[in-house]
């Protein structure tokens, strides 16, 4: 049998926050019984028997919905699902001591409240000083047997933008990696964000449906493709929390998790995130350019010198207990002060 190319993966694309991909294989009729590790080496490009066995032992291979052992012999019409970590650009992860805002921790998972300005993992231009460098050091201080071989990417299963603040969940065991990767892929992880966007949204609630993918001309940017002719499916639900006339505080719930999804979707409907210098929110989008208002907005930019987006809530099924876990963080000071300043501005206008 020929090996399956990467193009045939049902995968989370480059435009995703999630860092795992899933491959579905249905065993052909007429297939002779064969150990599953040998079968998968034949079917998956660049796979080695050692890597396949590690994935099986970590529970990242399911046959007909159940975990199996490496010596399991496949049968005709078996349905196999393989979860594997995507390669991320960057150098080897070097553990570095740094302060971490640990929101919750147990034997399986680690919840971190990431500050704005912190890159999640090493990549071009950011080979050290990232969140995952700090997590690697923290985990190895507790258990020096942990490495990228025993815990791929030191448990990182998703990411948020450098200048987005808020909650992230990391896995501390291979079992947790498998469970969380599956939950992210199946879009069952609950994620709520708070954002300040430009303009006064017409409706109190809404759903934005438009594929998100890399911009056709500017490859470092992402864009919305409402016809679905490019990118990957992306769905964002929003609710207006407070209106300030020129800007609006909204809650966004992700049904999918594409890179820059909220930022791209909000720009697509004409309401870019406040001070988003990538998608046009770092200038006056709504309101006049009269000197007093302009100065007020510039002061707001100084108060919140990044796009106003915070990952407030994350919820998932615990990998060991099977219980639903839900965590909620407070808004960071910069966004809290930004909201208070706009609230005060609107109140002053009403009373004058």
Domain at 27, CATH number: 3.10.290.10
Q: Is residue 2 a part of any domain in this protein?
A: no
Together in a domain, 217 and 307: yes
Q: Is residue 10 part of a domain?
A: no
Provide the pLDDT confidence category of residue 103 given band limits of 50, 70 and 90: very high
Q: What are phi and psi of 85, to 5 degrees?
A: -80, 135
- Asked if 273 and 153 sit in the same domain, the reply is no
Taking only the tens place, the pLDDT of each residue in 198-212 is: 999 999 999 999 999
SS3 content of the chain, % helix, strand, coil (to 5): 25, 30, 45
Active-site residue identified among 78, 161, 223, 334: 161
Please state the domain count of the chain.
Answer: 3
Tell me if residue 291 falls in helix, strand or coil: helix
User: CA 175: distance to chain centroid?
Assistant: 19
**Are residues 200 and 344 located together in one domain of the fold?**
yes
Whether 6 maps to a domain, the answer reads no
Residues 218 and 282 in one domain: yes
Q: Which of 128, 159, 182 is the last residue of a domain?
A: 182
Does 161 qualify as catalytic in the annotation? yes
Structure tokens at 20: 């795992």
Same-domain check for residues 60 and 167? no
Could you report the per-residue pLDDT of 123-169, keeping only the tens digit for each? 776 778 999 999 999 999 999 999 988 888 899 999 999 999 999 99
What lies within 8 Å, CB to CB, of 255 at 6+ separation is: 187, 235, 236, 237
Domain shared by 35 and 169, yes or no:
no
Residue 74: which H helix or E strand, with range?
Answer: strand 73-74
Whole domain around residue 57: which residue ranges?
A: 20-85
Query: What pLDDT is recorded for position 195?
Result: 98
Structural domain contains residue 9:
no
């Amino acid at each position: 049998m020929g090996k399956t190319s990467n193009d045939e993966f049902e995968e989370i694309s480059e435009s995703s926050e999630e860092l795992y991909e899933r491959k579905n294989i249905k065993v052909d009729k007429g297939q002779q019984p064969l150990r599953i590790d040998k079968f998968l080496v034949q079917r998956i490009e660049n796979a080695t028997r050692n890597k396949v066995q590690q994935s099986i032992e970590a529970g990242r291979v399911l046959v007909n919905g159940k975990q199996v052992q490496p010596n399991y012999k496949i049968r005709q019409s078996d349905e196999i699902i393989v979860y594997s970590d995507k390669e991320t650009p960057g150098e080897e992860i070097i553990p570095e001591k740094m302060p971490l805002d640990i929101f919750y921790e147990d034997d399986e998972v680690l919840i971190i409240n990431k500050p704005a300005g912190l890159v999640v993992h090493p990549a071009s231009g950011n080979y050290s000083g990232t969140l995952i460098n700090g997590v690697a050091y923290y985990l190895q201080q507790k258990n020096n047997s942990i490495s990228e071989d025993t815990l791929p990417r030191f448990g990182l299963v998703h990411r948020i933008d450098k200048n987005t603040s808020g909650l992230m969940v990391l896995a501390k065991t291979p079992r947790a990696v498998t469970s969380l990767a599956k939950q992210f892929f199946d879009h069952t992880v609950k994620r709520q964000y708070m954002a300040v966007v430009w303009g006064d949204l017409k409706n109190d609630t809404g759903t934005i449906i438009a594929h998100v993918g890399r911009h056709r001309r500017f490859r470092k940017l992402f864009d919305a493709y409402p016809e679905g002719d490019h990118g990957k499916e992306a769905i964002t639900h929003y609710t207006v929390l407070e209106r300030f006339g020129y800007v609006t505080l909204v809650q966004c719930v992700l049904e999918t998790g594409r890179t820059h999804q909220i930022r791209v979707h909000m720009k697509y409907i004409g309401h870019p995130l406040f001070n988003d210098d990538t998608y046009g929110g770092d200038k006056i989008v709504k309101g006049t350019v009269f000197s007093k208002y302009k100065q007020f907005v510039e002061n707001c930019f100084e108060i919140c010198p990044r796009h106003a987006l915070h990952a407030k809530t994350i919820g998932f099924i615990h990998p060991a207990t099977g219980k639903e876990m839900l965590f909620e963080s407070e808004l960071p000071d910069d966004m809290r002060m930004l909201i208070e300043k706009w609230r005060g501005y609107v109140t002053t206008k009403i009373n004058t």
